Amino acid sequence: MLRLKEKYQKEVVPKLKEEFGYKNNLAVPSLKKVVINVGLGRAITNPKIFDQAIEDLKLITGQKPIKTKAKQSIASFKIRKGLPIGLMVTLRGERMYDFLERLINIVLPRIRDFRGIKPNAFDGSGNYSLGIAEHIVFPEIDYEKVNEIYGLQINIITTAKTDKEAKRMLELLGFPFSQ
């Protein structure tokens, strides 16, 4: 089985050049980065959730996450400006391809009642957003050590100019879009 990066170079680039009429390989859309966000508003009352989430994200991505802070105060949620409320990881290069390969082949099929990812979650500029409700679908997570279940927001940033080009590239890479 081809690794995702090899598959992109050997199969996806020639097909996209043929379908969209690109003249050279550099004009073909490519993956730029993958950004994974975790919102941990509940961590305000229990700081141990942050420590566990940092360890979990390290296992999932192979990279240490950074804390994201609240941009403004919201009294009804007991959030003050500057308070850490989430985690973020940006993956590029080999780690990005490894993460996406595991996401496509292992994680998405493990989701209960999975019928494919939504084909309309593009932002108009060729970037795709995907939400995963429970982080425990990743095989790296040990169920016995999980105290809190949280969701992940995965943003796939591409160099595609349109959503149509980006969707076709992701389809050729093996993303299981629903009909």
98 in a domain, yes or no? yes
178 in a domain, yes or no? no
Residue 146 tokens read as 């999980």
- Band (pLDDT 50/70/90 cuts) for residue 2 is low
Domain span at 154 = 4-171
**Is pLDDT at 1 greater than 60 in this prediction?**
no
Residue 174 tokens read as 């093996």
Q: Is the dihedral of CA 86, 178, 125, 7 positive or negative?
A: positive
179 in a domain, yes or no? no
Reference 60, options 177, 145, 142, 144; nearest CA is 142
pLDDT in tens, 92-106: 999 999 999 988 888
Domain count, the chain: 1
The pLDDT value given to residue 151 = 87
Instruction: Read off the pTM.
Output: 0.87
151 in a domain, yes or no? yes
Q: What is the percentage of the chain residues whose pLDDT exceeds 70? A: 97
Beta bridge partners of 73: none
Q: Which CATH number covers residue 62?
A: 3.30.1440.10
pLDDT in tens, 154-167: 999 999 999 999 99
Least confident of 8-22, 32-46, 70-84: 70-84
pLDDT in tens, 16-41: 999 888 888 888 999 999 999 998 87
**Is pLDDT at 5 greater than 60 in this prediction?**
yes
24 in a domain, yes or no? yes
The pLDDT value given to residue 43 = 65
Which secondary-structure segment (H or E) carries 129?
A: strand 128-132
pLDDT in tens, 117-128: 888 888 888 899
The pLDDT value given to residue 92 = 92
Q: Is the dihedral of CA 142, 33, 10, 22 positive or negative?
A: positive
